[in-house]
Structure 1
């Protein structure tokens, strides 16, 4: 449930609400969105997100709204929340009061009752969309494609609406604007035969305001040689928690065109507890009911069917796309702490995981197991001292139990520094029993170093001034190969997200910062689907992209840099590539780039 509210501001807190032009300063505009994150019957979790859509900083914020008499806030975080009767007020905490242009901040709360918010104001201004008569256009309809040829396609769409009237439409191909037209159709030309493209359209009104983009239309031109799909792995992680706040479901793999472009899915995560594999989230995994509209095959769940949730939707996905193999992934950053204890008895650990993966309710869904231990005989969220042989012993135990007909894989570190995590465990020994390793070639740098220096979180190669030697993708691949691991057993990781800092004045990498940049779900990190529009990439370094907008500095991969990384995969003879994780690329642009690059 989402209630979108737009907030119009001409000045910051404590300033006269005079037109920005008369003050000789840029106007500050903002939007706010209220989301009910979850509802458990007797209560709910709510969230407000405030985004500065103007070109001047927003300094301080106070939101007021009305709840029904039976609805109350019981606890809050990242804001001070009070009430007078049914009117509720939230004020910033000081540290999150300043919002740079294009940035956003969020605060959340738990409550009881219905949770329907109305009559919102921000800093005293109405929440009905900037100022009266100043509403941005609505989204046009998703384009349709016709007259597809080797080098062109005709696109048509239904009109957007606007209080001032729509002036024209921007046409975007693979996220880049290629034309602005006045009508409701456009013929794109100069394309490559036999190539996939993704198109969206956005409206522009007579005040030159742009509205939200339409849905994505995937188009493949005719002609060209049918490129061999080859045997490269094209894998992505699907997270069970993505069905909540992110509202990303298995069906989205179909509607975005991603399902036909991948070979494997890792379902994340199952837990590791008390020496065995356990279910991570029973509601999301196999209890959640899907309606016909939400379901992959258009058929709704019934209350008495034996399997619902993501597992049932994945089953339907495999029926529709039988080429896809699905692995059940266990561990991850949060749940890696149980591996050390479990490996005191490798055979029993592997047996528990086999019985869970092969549970008769969903045995047909899964084709193997993925083990994401961060990190064997090293430190991640917690530290392990099991010894270097533990990686080899784990992979052998799982291969022995799962046999040759199931896939057995692992996600592994990319720390190639001298004496770093790759040197801490016998990854080469484990590779003998693994179908492949997912090398986590991302998160090398980030705003956990709050003052910087700024650096790309997923550099393909080293570069002058890189903060840490051995922290780049090529260094990891070369070190793993030098230890005797076959190239075909290594997959290059692509992050469908970016990492960023705020308080940055320098465009190029290496600048100082004051802390993590605000993100939609978490500070210092945001999805590609969010960043591509609000902080577009304007620089490249070491095979990846970065963006400096306002006081923020972000690094993330784009379709163009993904293409370069896929060239690297082929030059190095790697087994393929994998992505973390699907919901960050909801439109399927980055996965399309992986697919094109590995054909």
Structure 2
């Protein structure tokens, strides 16, 4: 689950929580990288450029050459059941997407944007990144925590599904952007996006306040996945290209059963990315793990969530293991006001959320300052830092490597990152993920 906030990336698991079709034509890595490679999928957020993390940083950090896919977060779905882009607070940021001109110092290829070019912004920078890294695929991720409100309406009938899917393919894959202040227009973004990532949070289950939810969302999600596959393949026959289709999937078995027909959706998905984080967070009064590989001993929550329980839940429902891509967080959950040092701060009462940025780069910088030390539960596969009063979860390179080894030994489909801007300047987490998955660069 992902919000559009910079500081608080996690969302409420307690309330909401928390590949390739099995055909020879879609065998392999899902349209990115080499056929025998595990997928490495990184989310780049529309808004991260405002905090100084640009598409260019995906290249300079070394992340780009270690990824197979980038998911651009997010695209919105309107009350009319169509994909759209516009400049409106809370609804869209066309300026960031395709209007903003980049100077040469901030551009992927070192060339400044001009006033005359129809495509600028993040979209143009992603196109430049793909030109530099030929195997890299870019998907538009639709929805997210904030923009899943109208999915249920969009997929309600065969007619609405056809119109919804056609609008998304037209806007992003065909690149027919709206014309705004000299940017955009027909075909202006063609070639930027290689497919669609469905990030509906959640079919048939409560998500963000105000989301439309129906009991038939479960069957309609299956139907819209099939419609996306049908229309993407039809367009692909014209362009002689396979367009990737993926979906972000929850950890909570209740949410899985309410919204997803596992066996059916994976017939048409290239892969599905699994929620591997937000198992606990600052909406709860006790410090806890938020992304553990296994449920820790002594955890006061029963039953609890973990990476392995999430993977097992999907496998038990018929999802093919080679199409399951496990999510790892590049951010932390933090609590403060802790008065007990028992268990090195784990499972202890807190007064509220810890102040400050929660990216890995920010949290890891605290280690060795103000009494912060690293603690690990290697059996459960989670780590944290604690200084006697403030507690932060921590997915560092060692823990990322442990999760990557699990993905590899379980013959799963790869790893997914939320989100790339949390990494260090030299891409330490992404390097650890790729190496743990057996990739060499």
Say whether residues 1:471 and 2:305 are aligned partners. Answer: yes
In terms of fraction of residues, the more strand-rich structure is 1
Deviation, structure 1 residue 229 = 9.3
Q: Indicate conservation of the 8 Å contact 2:155/2:221, yes or no.
A: no
- Aligned-partner Cα distance in 1 for 2:296–2:46: 37
Q: Indicate conservation of the 8 Å contact 1:234/1:576, yes or no.
A: yes
1:265 is aligned, of 66, 70, 85, to 70
2:405 is aligned, of 567, 575, 580, to 567
Alignment of 1:468-547 (within 5 A): 468-504=302-338, 505-506=340-341, 507-520=344-357, 526-535=358-367, 538-541=374-377, 542-547=380-385
1:248-307 residue CA offsets vs partner (Å, 9 max, x unmatched)? 101101111111111110011111112011123210010001011111111101111111
For structure 2, list consecutive stretches of 5 or more residues without a partner in the other structure: 1-6, 8-33, 86-91, 176-186, 237-241
Aligned residues: 362
Deviation, structure 1 residue 464 = 2.1
- Aligned-partner Cα distance in 1 for 2:410–2:122: 35
Say whether residues 1:314 and 2:149 are aligned partners. Answer: no
Say whether residues 1:578 and 2:416 are aligned partners. Answer: yes
- Aligned-partner Cα distance in 2 for 1:302–1:295: 12
Say whether residues 1:385 and 2:229 are aligned partners. Answer: no
**Secondary structure, aligned partner of 2:335:** strand
- Aligned-partner Cα distance in 2 for 1:412–1:462: 19
Match of 1:367 in 2: 194
Match of 2:273 in 1: 438
Match of 2:257 in 1: 423
Match of 1:352 in 2: 167
- Aligned-partner Cα distance in 2 for 1:435–1:470: 29
**Secondary structure, aligned partner of 1:336:** coil
Identify which range, 232-241 or 379-388, moves more after superposition: 379-388
1:503-554 residue CA offsets vs partner (Å, 9 max, x unmatched)? 113324211111111123xxxxx00000001146511232121111241111
Deviation, structure 1 residue 428 = 2.8
**Secondary structure, aligned partner of 2:333:** strand
- Aligned-partner Cα distance in 1 for 2:247–2:206: 17
- Aligned-partner Cα distance in 2 for 1:463–1:514: 23
Check 1:229–1:553 CA distance in 2 against 1; reply closer, same or farther (3 A cut): farther
Q: Indicate conservation of the 8 Å contact 1:495/1:581, yes or no.
A: yes
**Secondary structure, aligned partner of 2:70:** strand
| TM-score of the aligned structures, taking structure 1 as reference length | 0.59
Match of 1:595 in 2: 434
Say whether residues 1:414 and 2:247 are aligned partners. Answer: no
Say whether residues 1:236 and 2:236 are aligned partners. Answer: no
**Secondary structure, aligned partner of 1:364:** coil
Superposed CA RMSD in Å reads 1.7
Q: Indicate conservation of the 8 Å contact 2:415/2:433, yes or no.
A: yes
Q: Indicate conservation of the 8 Å contact 1:234/1:263, yes or no.
A: yes
Match of 1:181 in 2: none
Q: Indicate conservation of the 8 Å contact 1:297/1:316, yes or no.
A: yes
Match of 1:144 in 2: none
| TM-score of the aligned structures, taking structure 2 as reference length | 0.79
Deviation, structure 1 residue 231 = 1.6
Match of 1:81 in 2: none
For structure 1, list consecutive stretches of 5 or more residues without a partner in the other structure: 1-48, 50-227, 521-525
- Aligned-partner Cα distance in 2 for 1:364–1:537: 47
**Secondary structure, aligned partner of 1:266:** strand
- Aligned-partner Cα distance in 1 for 2:115–2:169: 28
- Aligned-partner Cα distance in 1 for 2:293–2:221: 26
- Aligned-partner Cα distance in 2 for 1:487–1:503: 41
- Aligned-partner Cα distance in 1 for 2:203–2:394: 28
1:562-594 residue CA offsets vs partner (Å, 9 max, x unmatched)? 000001101111110010011111421100101
**Secondary structure, aligned partner of 1:497:** coil
Q: Which has the larger radius of gyration?
A: 1
Alignment of 1:272-291 (within 5 A): 272-274=77-79, 275-279=81-85, 280-291=92-103
Say whether residues 1:398 and 2:398 are aligned partners. Answer: no
- Aligned-partner Cα distance in 2 for 1:590–1:469: 30
Q: Indicate conservation of the 8 Å contact 1:296/1:317, yes or no.
A: yes
Match of 1:84 in 2: none
In terms of fraction of residues, the more helix-rich structure is 2
